[in-house]
Structure 1
Amino acid sequence: MKPRGKYGIDAPWVPWLWIGIAAVSAAVAVAFGLWGAGWWTVALAWYFVACTVVYLIGAGLYWHASLLGKFAIWDRLLRRVSLSTGDRVLDLGCGRGSVAIMTAIRYPEASVTGIDLWRVGDQSGNSRSAAEANTALNGIGERLAFDTGDMTSLPYPDATFTLITASLSLHNIHTPEGRRMAIQEAVRVLAPGGRVLIVDIQRTREYAAELQRLGLTVSGPTRLGWRSWWTGPWMAATELDAIR
């Protein structure tokens, strides 16, 4: 399921923040345990022990989702798609190329383009050169190209792509207007009968409403299971499947 190469960690500061909070929680638990002033200090010590465990599990789930879970999810989603010779695919916010590469491997008859601004805050080690290195490792360089560009202003003609994918990228646009522009641009460059597959956290209902407003038939948001828990069920990714 996971192609060859190194794909980094999405928003890499998040699990380390949870580890830091776990360390503070553990220190507070020890302090209350050593104080031993009464039953309430024992209760508080156990409370902070439980908090420590929750934060450690959350960090572990985050690393799993980023390193393994998202690959399993996209392997399942891409199985739904049918592409023909000459079809073109666009991956929005492609990062180090995971979904673009998986698509190119599964559908050798299609050509794939990934576009990104290559911000390292969104993914560790994020760069065009890292994406190109991963592409070379998988031997698909002739069918996969990368562009530097903004999702809110795509440098492609109308009705260019049969399939558009976006994996945990649209939420990195911080304003509702910017996210609407990105959805509008995706629909603009989507060919008649084309498909949009989106996996994201929290904002998928917002995307679904805009896609429906633009005339697409939308399925979802649909939960993707524990492998998409970015710290826990309160930060679960969902998917949208929209057809023009």
Structure 2
Amino acid sequence: MQNSDISASAQKARYGVDAPGVIRNLFLSGVGLFLIIIFFPVIRIGNVQILTPGLVWMASFLVIGGLLMLFYSLKGKFIHRDRMLGLHQWQGDEQVLDVGTGKGLLMIGAAKHLTTGKSIGIDIWNTEDLSGNNYENANNNAAVEGVADRVQILNENAMEMSFDDNNFDVIVTNQVIHNIYNKAGRQRACEEIARVLKPGGKAIISDWKHMNEYLEHFNGLGLRTKMLTANYLTTYPPLKILVVKK
């Protein structure tokens, strides 16, 4: 075994914390409110008296929301990945595309189902979306997980992919398309997914908002769609799954 292989096998794949800034803000806001409740039970502004213990529910909601998001990052997203990938019957020779691969969770998960196929991950690596979000960490995770020979990582925008039409058997994406803040851009990303998907291929799309928008647009493109309900025990915010067939 080469030294690089020994180094990789001694490491552990790290897939980061999703939306770390949001989690931080939820915790800070919740803890801040609890401190106000403890030290300033009554706040007077002129003739107005505010009883801060009434804010305990808001403080609890903020902290619990942060804890649920942290649980998803550390445990739930692996369960959700397996649910998504379990929606396809793998043959081993598929050409797979992970749109917004981040640190490679779905790309690598798909690669583990492949023998002669290839799993390609694309991203522009926005650090606000995921801690340690960059090409190097995705590449390192692929090596650590033992699938470096079955993956390819590219810097590409979901709204303008360089791939040929009808190129992929399976396309996966999780919590990515909503990061495109205008509707026209999100529709463009859906159109690109439809374009590069092979006839008979399957796209598995998961997100926490705009899901009905995606469904309607894919239907308008003539593709078949099925919406699956969120697993509220393992994802937060709750993530629905849209299965699209061409």
Structure 1 and Structure 2 fold alike (TM over 0.5): yes
Question: What is the percent sequence identity of the aligned residues?
Answer: 29
> What is the alpha-carbon distance in structure 2 between the residues aligned to residue 5 and residue 85 of structure 1?
23
Match of 1:134 in 2: 141
- The one-letter amino acid of 1:76's match is R
Matches within 5 A, 1:9-20: 9-20=17-28
Contact 1:204 1:221 in 2 (8 A): no
The root-mean-square deviation of aligned C-alpha atoms, in Å, is 1.9
Contact 2:31 2:63 in 1 (8 A): no
> What is the alpha-carbon distance in structure 2 between the residues aligned to residue 75 and residue 108 of structure 1?
18
Aligned residue pairs, count: 232
Match of 2:74 in 1: 67
> What is the alpha-carbon distance in structure 1 between the residues aligned to residue 236 and residue 129 of structure 2?
17
> What is the alpha-carbon distance in structure 1 between the residues aligned to residue 178 and residue 73 of structure 2?
16
Match of 1:198 in 2: 205
> What is the alpha-carbon distance in structure 2 between the residues aligned to residue 144 and residue 35 of structure 1?
58
> What is the alpha-carbon distance in structure 1 between the residues aligned to residue 102 and residue 185 of structure 2?
19
CA displacement at 1:48 relative to structure 2: 2.0
CA offsets 1:182-221 (integer angstroms, 9 cap, x no match): 0000100000000010110111111111111111111115
> What is the alpha-carbon distance in structure 1 between the residues aligned to residue 121 and residue 192 of structure 2?
15
Matches within 5 A, 1:85-234: 85-230=92-237
> What is the alpha-carbon distance in structure 1 between the residues aligned to residue 93 and residue 72 of structure 2?
33
Contact 1:164 1:190 in 2 (8 A): yes
Contact 2:164 2:196 in 1 (8 A): yes
- Work out whether 1:33 is the aligned partner of 2:35: no
| TM-score normalised over the length of structure 2 | 0.88
CA offsets 1:26-76 (integer angstroms, 9 cap, x no match): 12212443779xxxx8x9343222322221111000111122112101202
| TM-score normalised over the length of structure 1 | 0.89
Q: 1:221–1:210: structure 2 CA closer, same or farther, 3 Å change rule?
A: farther
Deviates more, 1:74-83 or 1:182-191: 74-83
Match of 1:22 in 2: 30
